């Protein structure tokens, strides 16, 4: 099923970062590199054949999220889609309606926070809303934060670090009641949980191909028909991605995105059940052997494939280095002159000593029980070894506060 099927020496548990390309996706793509190579903008047979392939891929994507054909725009990835749906929309709203305020969450993906920084430098009133310790947005806070000048809210449907899943439908209802458009970064939700843009009511949605066992270099932007005018480029060819994105459409990766979406839809229920089962096995295996273990994010409202787990008394990077046979991501980052913790965990008000001890594990449809068991053994062994030499763990065990220690060490 996958390109790499031999037993790996290192267990891959970083599926939120990227996924291996499904062999069925690759097989679908291959003819469009050499045999069916036409430019879809050409009027001859080769161009028409290529255009048919793009249309077929677009239909598969729109079916996955219950969109209309003309509402699905192929992009180079979710980052580009996020930029179009935030920067371009806010510029259009400022010009057409005098809307000066953009709202997003403090836990957003860096690609959206970068857009927020750009908008702020451009004179937009940007507000970063806090979240609770479970990573969820307080809907009353949202209602109180929306102003007459608010044009757009952007939020991550499933957080890329914690897996916390926002109530997209209620968020959208609150915003629409106040005349505010809504964009959701659905990169970690697309193809993994049931998504119906009509039911959610969002105006814009971003997703990426390589998160669902498709190729890198392709994503989609869903633009609700009535609001597509806010993202069209003046003078752009309306025949190319509906005037929203220019350039020659990359046929092979669009075909791959379509196939990945088709497979995601057909396998969604079984994949979701699979990762839920392995999540439960992983968490119970760790917590059954270690104390002071924390699962960051909402225990009820989440995508189960992402588990952000803290091993108090250790540092995330140290655990990663010690657990050499698993590939995971760290919830903290280290620079040359100071230590910082994940901006998402900081925004959730997770204590510094817990936040800096976090790692993100993410489970995929290829993950096996044996791999989860190996990961449990690796992480338990690593934690016990690191705690045995950790002065922080000694302080925790003594019952003393570690807050002052972390302030002195420069954690923010």
Residue 259 is classified by DSSP as H
Strand 326-327 with 306-311, pairing: unpaired
Q: What is the pLDDT of residue 402?
A: 74
Q: Which of 21, 34, 115, 334 is catalytic?
A: 334
Interacting residues of 203 by C-beta distance below 8 A, sequence separation 6+: 181, 182, 183, 223, 224, 227
CATH 3.40.640.10 given to domain 23-264: yes
Q: Are 303 and 163 in contact (CB under 8 A)?
A: yes
Give the span between the Cα atoms of 172 and 204, in whole angstroms: 11
For 14, which DSSP code? Answer: B
Q: Cα–Cα distance between 257 and 265 in angstroms, integer? A: 12
Active site residue 21: no
Q: Are strands 11-12 and 326-327 parallel, antiparallel or unpaired?
A: parallel
- Mention every residue, 6+ apart, whose C-beta is less than 8 A from residue 406: 352, 353, 356
Q: What is the CATH number of domain 268-408?
A: 3.90.1150.10
Q: How many CB atoms lie within 10 A of CB 122?
A: 12
Q: Can you give the residue ranges of every domain in the chain?
A: 23-264, 268-408
Neighbours of 285 (CB within 10 A): 17
Judge if 23-264 and 268-408 fold alike in CATH terms: no
Q: What DSSP character marks residue 325?
A: T
Q: What is the DSSP letter of 232?
A: P
What's the full length of the chain, in residues? 412
Contacts of 373 (CB under 8 A, 6+ apart): 281, 285
**Can you tell me the distance from the alpha carbon of 328 to that of 375, in angstroms, rounded to the nearest whole number?**
10
Instruction: Give the CA count within 13 Å in the CB-facing half-sphere of 129.
Output: 24
**What are the residue ranges in the chain where pLDDT is below 70?**
1-8, 235-239, 331-339, 404-412
Check residue 39 and give its pLDDT: 92
Residues sharing a CB contact under 8 Å with residue 365, sequence separation 6 or more, in sequence order = 213, 267, 271, 274, 275
Q: What separation in angstroms does the CA of 100 have from each of 103, 108, 172, 246?
A: 10, 20, 19, 27
The per-residue pLDDT for 6 is 44
- The per-residue pLDDT for 336 is 35
């Amino acid at each position: 099923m996958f390109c790499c099927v031999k037993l790996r020496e290192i267990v891959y548990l970083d599926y939120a970062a990227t996924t291996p390309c499904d062999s069925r996706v690759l097989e679908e793509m291959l003819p469009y590199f050499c045999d069916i190579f036409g430019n879809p903008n050409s009027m001859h047979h080769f161009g028409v054949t290529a255009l048919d392939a793009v249309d077929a891929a677009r239909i598969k994507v729109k079916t996955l999220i219950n969109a209309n054909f003309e509402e699905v725009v192929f992009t180079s990835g979710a980052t580009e889609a996020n930029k179009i749906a935030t920067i371009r929309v806010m510029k259009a709203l400022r010009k057409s309606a005098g809307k000066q305020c953009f709202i997003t969450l403090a836990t957003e993906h860096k690609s959206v926070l970068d857009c927020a920084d750009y908008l702020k430098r451009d004179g937009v009133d940007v507000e970063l809303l806090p979240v609770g310790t479970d990573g969820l947005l307080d809907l009353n806070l949202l209602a109180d934060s929306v102003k007459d000048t608010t044009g757009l809210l952007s939020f991550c449907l499933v957080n890329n670090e914690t897996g916390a899943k926002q109530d997209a439908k209620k968020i959208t209802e609150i915003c629409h009641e106040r005349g505010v458009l809504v964009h959701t970064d659905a990169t970690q939700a697309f193809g993994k949980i049931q998504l119906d843009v009509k039911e959610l009511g969002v105006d814009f949605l971003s997703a990426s191909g390589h998160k669902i066992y498709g190729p890198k270099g392709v994503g989609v932007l869903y633009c609700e028909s009535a609001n597509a005018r806010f993202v069209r480029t003046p003078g752009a060819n309306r025949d190319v991605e509906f005037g929203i994105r220019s350039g020659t459409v990359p046929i092979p990766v669009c075909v791959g995105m379509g196939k990945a979406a088709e497979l995601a839809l057909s396998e969604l229920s079984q994949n979701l059940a699979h990762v839920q089962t392995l999540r439960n096995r992983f968490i119970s295996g760790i917590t059954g052997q270690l104390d002071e273990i924390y699962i960051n994010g909402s225990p009820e409202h989440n995508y189960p494939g992402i588990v952000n787990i803290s091993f108090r008394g250790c540092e995330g990077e140290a655990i990663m280095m010690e657990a050499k046979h698993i590939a995971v991501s760290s919830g903290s980052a280290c620079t040359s002159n100071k230590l910082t913790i994940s901006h998402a965990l900081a925004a959730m008000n997770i204590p510094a000593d817990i936040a800096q001890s976090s790692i993100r594990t993410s489970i995929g449809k290829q993950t096996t029980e044996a791999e989860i068991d190996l990961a449990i053994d690796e992480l338990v062994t690593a934690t016990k070894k690191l705690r045995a030499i950790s002065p922080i763990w000694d302080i925790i065990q003594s019952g003393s506060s570690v807050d002052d220690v972390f302030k002195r060490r420069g954690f923010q």
